Amino acid sequence: MTHHPDTTLPALPTTIRPGRHSSRRIARLAGATAALIATLAAVAIAALLSNGTVGAASVVAVIGLSATALALALRRAVQHSAGETQAGADRWTDTASSHAVLDASAAAAERERVQDTIRSAKQTLDTAVNNIGHGVVGIDASMRLVLCNDRYLEMYRISREEAEPGLPFEGLLRRKARVGTFPGCPEAFIGWMADRRATTGEIELADGRVIRVTNRPLAIGGWVSTHEDITAQRRAEAAAEQTVTFLTGVLDNLPDAIVVRDARDRRYVLVNSAAEALLGVSRAAVVGRTADQVFPEATADRIVDDDRTLLDTGSPVLVTERAIETPASGPRIVLARNAVIRDRTGAPMVLLTVIEDRTGRMRRVAPPPLRLA
């Protein structure tokens, strides 16, 4: 009877500790094992065909390995793979820790960069706002102070400590009222701002200064207000008005008619009392109008011709004597002295005409009518 050797192969390890980097090692091990099994199967089939029986001993003998050597080789391979798997897991843990440290450092660097950007933007905004000639104040939707520039503080005599961001706007108004730079009622002003209407107005402070205030509501809520000190402008306007009043009083006491026109658009800007009497209309019917809007066509054309001659020749004075048709006093004989008043650059500024009414004189010196004998 034929002896059949032991057909049981040594058991392979069945437990492998998984790790992040073990999959490739296990795959390679599985591939090698599959190839070995395929070889063993081929040898067994060949032996079966020749002998009719097959055993593990005959198979391993053919490929030159003992069962014990095969088991030890496979066990060492699996143990080596498991060892590399554990080492890989340890390396992954170390790498993950390193990445966490790097991520925290990157986040801190990003926060610092954002803070630097915010600080730079705020500094730029402060510089820009403080270089504006007007006072500027910003209020948020909850009616609290967001910003105000140095000019605003100077204008209303408030210290920087008294205008800290976050201060209720009503509190800012009360502080202005205490130093005499807010003439109104804080509550009424807050109520007016609640209507969210863009406005421009003027306020006069107790010390005589005049401030022009422009309020603009923001789409996101809140306000931006600009404050311009126009005291010098108002004083200059008042002085000019006094000068005009004085000059008008002087001119109204002269016997000759005096009219003044703007050299640019030729509109009348001044008419004295004697000119009102000569033309038969009030100065309100003349000022702001041109010659063709005041006089009949023939007279207006002559006035335009005189202007052209005076300006083209550069002569300081042009004297004419002729008959004119007035708006409401009929025909007149007048002697007109026309002059150009120029500015510092030599450009024409106004056209001055002094008119002497000679109608009565011409009638007195007219020869008597001829009589037939």
Tens-digit pLDDT profile for residues 12-45: 444 444 444 455 555 555 555 555 555 544 444 4
Residue range 156-178: average pLDDT?
Answer: 93
**Quick one: tokens of 281?**
């209309």
Buried-exposed string 219-228: b where 16+ CB fall within 10 A, e elsewhere: eeebbebbbb
More confident residue, 217 or 3: 217
Q: List, for residues 55-83, the tens digit of each pLDDT value.
A: 444 444 444 444 455 455 445 544 555 55
Structure confidence at residue 173 (pLDDT): 93
Write the CB contacts of 153 (distance below 8 Å, at least 6 apart in sequence): 135, 159, 160, 163
Q: List, for residues 38-51, the tens digit of each pLDDT value.
A: 554 444 444 444 44
d(CA 81, CA 28): 10
d(CA 210, CA 202): 7
Overall pTM > 0.75: no
Position 53 confidence tier, pLDDT thresholds 50, 70, 90: very low
Mean predicted lDDT score pLDDT of the chain: 78
More confident residue, 365 or 175: 175
In contact, 9 and 71? CB cutoff 8 Å:
yes
More confident residue, 357 or 75: 357
Buried-exposed string 11-31: b where 16+ CB fall within 10 A, e elsewhere: eeeeeeeebeebeebbeebee
Residue range 131-136: average pLDDT?
Answer: 85
d(CA 192, CA 217): 12
Eight-class DSSP state of 345: T
C-alpha distances out from residue 99 to 90, 92, 93, 95, 103, Å: 14, 10, 10, 6, 6
Structure confidence at residue 93 (pLDDT): 64
More confident residue, 344 or 196: 344
